[in-house]
Amino acid sequence: MDHALDIRGVPWLTIGLLLACGWVLVAAGGLHGGLALPGLLLYGAKATPLILDRGETWRLFSANLLHKDLLHLAFNAFALWNVGGALERAVRPADYLALLVFTALGTTLMSAIGSDSVSLGASGMAFGVLGASAAFGWRRGVSGSLRSHFGLRIIPWLLALFAAGLGSAGVDNWGHGGGLLTGAALGCFMAPRSWPGEGASRRLAAAAGALIGTLALGLFAAPALPALGPVREGPLETTVKMPLGWRRTATGPDRVSYTNGLTGGFRSSATLLAAAPCHGRACACERVVRAAVENELWRLADVGAFRELQLGEQRGRVEGMLQGTDGQVRVSAACLQRETAPLAVVVLQPPPGSATLAQRMAAAVSWPTPDKPR
């Protein structure tokens, strides 16, 4: 097979990928110091809550281009240049471009399924290129001097790098595994550059379709998000469905609260509150929600110290804005009457937020039916 392979030339696609990663790092301001979490989220890091809550499926691709700092980028660039550069020159350009797209999506999709931590970087793509090079060399029977670039000789290095990630804190091993499996699978079908390009063109078309479908899925699903998850226990023997993937953050005899686990301007929270017994205007939904937010719930918004709360009620719905020293959040609430005390679902979200979440959660609230007299 060696006579059919030629790794001479300039790996333009690999250069383009590295330049794109560098441009994103410069745009995010990460050249002179590491990016903090808000900056990482703003510039496209993978955050499962934002994908599930807002339909931001574009993060499944953008996270691969973003790096925390220059050193982070340098490590990934070294692997992509030395392994990906050789593979790009050996196979058809359409195959290599399809590999980059599929490994980017495979990396972050596996990461989103296996871990809810924030992750970023092209290391999953680097593992994908390594896996593809090993599979391509084995499948095409590469021998001779090119075995150092393609084939089973790569596997010990690949396993050593993967094991190093398993033993390191803060490494997205789910993403590494996703990129590796995707790359190895695609590498079995990649064709040398000298072969006809029909199969490679079909694989590139499939990759483009997967990328467009991923982006479109988020756009179409966004109006119905956040999706509600399984039933959770609430106060006073009530139950409620909280958004999928959210974590319990506070609980008490009269309330239970969940958040999406993020901080700052990306934090969202929801609370099911059982108000004290009341009569007349004291039971008005706006008054119940205002008292709860001003007394305690504002702390869940993570917008600094409390400054101002503006609320308005219309047809059983409460809408408004909570202003803090570090930002603002949208307040949405819906109330249900239970005997002489109302139940309130209070949702705090970064603007614009979901217009229907509080109502959908309120519709899912249930409580034990009193025993009927015999």
Catalytic residue among 119, 123, 332, 354: 123
Residue 11's pLDDT band (cuts 50, 70, 90): very high
Instruction: Look at residue 316 and tell me whether its pLDDT is greater than 80.
Output: no
Mean pLDDT (whole number) for 93-104: 96
Render 258-287 in DSSP notation, one character per residue.
EE-S--GGG--EEEEEEPPP--GGGG-HHH
Residues of the chain with CATH 2.60.120.1690: 226-363
Residue 61's nearest CA partner among 217, 222, 220 is 217
Catalytic residue among 111, 176, 268, 269: 176
Report how far residue 49's alpha carbon sits from residue 112's, in angstroms, rounded to the nearest whole number: 9
Residue 123 is a catalytic residue: yes
Residues of the chain with CATH 1.20.1540.10: 2-223
Least confident window among 1-5, 296-300, 333-337:
1-5
Architecture of the domain made up of 226-363: Sandwich (2.60)
Residue 72 is a catalytic residue: no
Fold classification of 2-223 (topology level): Rhomboid-like fold (1.20.1540)
Name the β-bridge partners of 192.
Answer: 91
Global pTM reads 0.88
Residue 2's pLDDT band (cuts 50, 70, 90): low
Instruction: Look at residue 372 and tell me whether its pLDDT is greater than 80.
Output: no
Instruction: Look at residue 340 and tell me whether its pLDDT is greater than 70.
Output: no
